[in-house]
Chain A
């Protein structure tokens, strides 16, 4: 296996304490369709520790974004959370009433949205959009104090102070994305969910936004879920990686081990398809999810594409188990009999 990013990963300090800030247990999110429920997220369990960044990767439609939206309870109709617990500081978000939910949003968990281009209200100034998040949760603020706070947030993400009075359409894509980052950290939340924060940007801007994220994380010590399929960005930023396939979590490991020795056949495929400058090779990851999400096959979710498929895979669902220290995988190949 080629480990393109090993030099970057090795310098990483071991991040995170043992304090768990988010615990997701048995989360199921289904979308109603005319021909049955699509199981977008099916029995997903993981936890985020204080101060760590966990990357959530997988191909389009695998349920990454749905998982993130479920944590904020923002799954849009016709989707719904069918089952599971989402614990933040021992509070189950899945069971809060609307008022309690509003109080938790942004103070405990904030979001850096996928489409920064359209995520800012086009007719409100930047200051008002950051300001309304602050004032909603902390009450009316003295004008001058609020202004200084917003300006310092903007400078944290490397934006000039003139952005304060501007409208979204006057900003570039990268600037809008950094406004969203500034907004996400405005209330010092416990957890920031960054949903493909760089996917809509060009390569140079991607790098700048990536550095901004890393800088913010190092300074504030905030925990973060970083969703994306850019393995390069993941290698730079995250401490642990969770790999999703067709609504299931198939592997969860620290980033170093995962890149050096991916266990799940799907993860192997994913890592193998990272383009390398050094060698030319055929792209292996070509097909998407092959089965019908309304009607998954019995047994392992990956059986139809797995090169190592056995009879057991076709009947028994492999659970996500810890096979080595801080290495969890859902694959029959690695379980000790």
Chain B
């Protein structure tokens, strides 16, 4: 009865496709609403400079082919959607012979690693802090200390990143300021490499965790407090259960579910914010690649990365949505 019903799965899958379609369409349409077609302008600029740029003829040909510039807007749109859906991102404009998808796939593991580690850490730490803040049995002095951990909440990830680089990499020189691993190391399962990856990862992960855990803490605190008035909490107390059991099985267990929903909703924001963190730390993930795309006005690269970010976030949201009914027996009834 409970759990994954076909309607639920279908609805979630529909949302997944809709999100991707909406994101891709916004990327396509809005730049074209601006006065003057930036793509056409770009091509004519390239044409004018044809003599000076290496491979310019191929680049221009690639542009014309990709965007169907000679056709009407809807033909361009169809061509664009077909390319995106088949993950055919074409060639990079700035480093011409390399393909965008190759560049993205070499950057992808770093971003996935950074994002998953920091999101999970922040979610766990934030919810633990929030739960303790909302639970009246926690000793007063601990509850007085907990809010200090929320000091940096609401500050953009990358700003804390700048502060951390300055403090730990420039002033104290404890940790490396940029990159994902030390120069001259061979990537692989060897200890020097792993150690270097961890050292390089601490600051980027910290800048995301410290700034975002406050939101989980506040949400959890609110849920726990609201939960305390529920009849089942009073009955649990009447049953003479140990406070720790009431807290975990009755309080936290019921409060964590809305938090998982909130996590699914905020993944987009976290993914966006982390692109800036990668930029600050020159972390070789997709955010840094995106920055290079901007610097080199490499539109195919930018478009490809952003589409992959949309796709990745939507996939993560889909996975969370499909996990929810397993966690919460009520969910397939309520939605």
Cβ–Cβ contact B238 & A74, under 8 A = yes
The residue that A121 contacts in the complex, of B236, B237, B257, with Cβ under 8 A, is B236
Residues of B within 8 A of A132 (CB): 239, 241, 245, 249
Residues of B within 8 A of A124 (CB): 249, 253
Q: Is the interface of B mostly helix, strand, loop or mixed?
A: helix
Cβ–Cβ contact A113 & B231, under 8 A = yes
Residues of B within 8 A of A103 (CB): 240
Residues of B within 8 A of A113 (CB): 231, 234-235, 238
Cβ–Cβ contact A111 & B2, under 8 A = no
Counting CB contacts under 8 A, is A88 at the interface?
no
Residues of A within 8 A of B232 (CB): 118-122
Cβ–Cβ contact B250 & A74, under 8 A = no
Contact A106-B329, Cβ < 8 Å, known A76-B234, A113-B231, A121-B249:
no
- Least CB separation from B228: chain A residue: A76
Residues of B within 8 A of A180 (CB): 235
Counting CB contacts under 8 A, is A136 at the interface?
yes
Counting CB contacts under 8 A, is A105 at the interface?
yes
Residues of B within 8 A of A169 (CB): 329-330, 333
Shortest Cβ gap from B71 to chain A (Å): 55
Counting CB contacts under 8 A, is B230 at the interface?
yes
Contact A106-B249, Cβ < 8 Å, known A119-B232, A121-B232, A123-B328:
no
Cβ–Cβ contact A119 & B231, under 8 A = yes
Residues of A within 8 A of B335 (CB): none
Cβ–Cβ contact B239 & A106, under 8 A = yes
Cβ–Cβ contact B241 & A133, under 8 A = yes
Cβ–Cβ contact B249 & A102, under 8 A = no
Bits for A162-190, please: 1 = Cβ < 8 Å to B, else 0: 00000101100000000010010000000
Cβ–Cβ contact B240 & A136, under 8 A = yes
CA gap between A133 and B245 in the complex, in Å: 11
- Least CB separation from A186: chain B residue: B239
State which size class the interface on B falls in.
20 to 34
CA gap between A240 and B253 in the complex, in Å: 42
- Among B230, B232, B249, B257: residue with most chain A CB under 10 A: B232
Bits for A104-118, please: 1 = Cβ < 8 Å to B, else 0: 111100110111011
Counting CB contacts under 8 A, is B183 at the interface?
no
Shortest Cβ gap from A236 to chain B (Å): 25
Contact A170-B2, Cβ < 8 Å, known A121-B232, A123-B254:
yes
Counting CB contacts under 8 A, is A95 at the interface?
no
The residue that B234 contacts in the complex, of A74, A117, A136, A167, with Cβ under 8 A, is A74
CA gap between A88 and B258 in the complex, in Å: 42
Cβ–Cβ contact A170 & B240, under 8 A = no
Within 88-104 of A, Cβ neighbours of B (below 8 Å) are at 101-104
Within 21-80 of A, Cβ neighbours of B (below 8 Å) are at 72, 74, 76
Shortest Cβ gap from A22 to chain B (Å): 15
Q: Report 7 cross-chain contacts, Cβ distance below 8 Å, ordered by A residue.
A: A74-B234, A74-B238, A76-B229, A102-B242, A114-B231, A119-B231, A136-B240
Interface residues of A (CB under 8 A from B): 72, 74, 76, 101-107, 110-111, 113-115, 117-124, 132-133, 136-137, 167, 169-170, 180, 183
Interface residues of B (CB under 8 A from A): 1-2, 229-232, 234-242, 245, 249-250, 253-254, 257, 328-330, 333
Can you name 13 extra interface pairs (CB under 8 A) apart from A123-B330, A133-B240, A169-B330? A76-B229, A105-B238, A105-B239, A105-B240, A113-B231, A113-B234, A115-B231, A123-B328, A123-B329, A133-B239, A136-B241, A167-B329, A183-B239
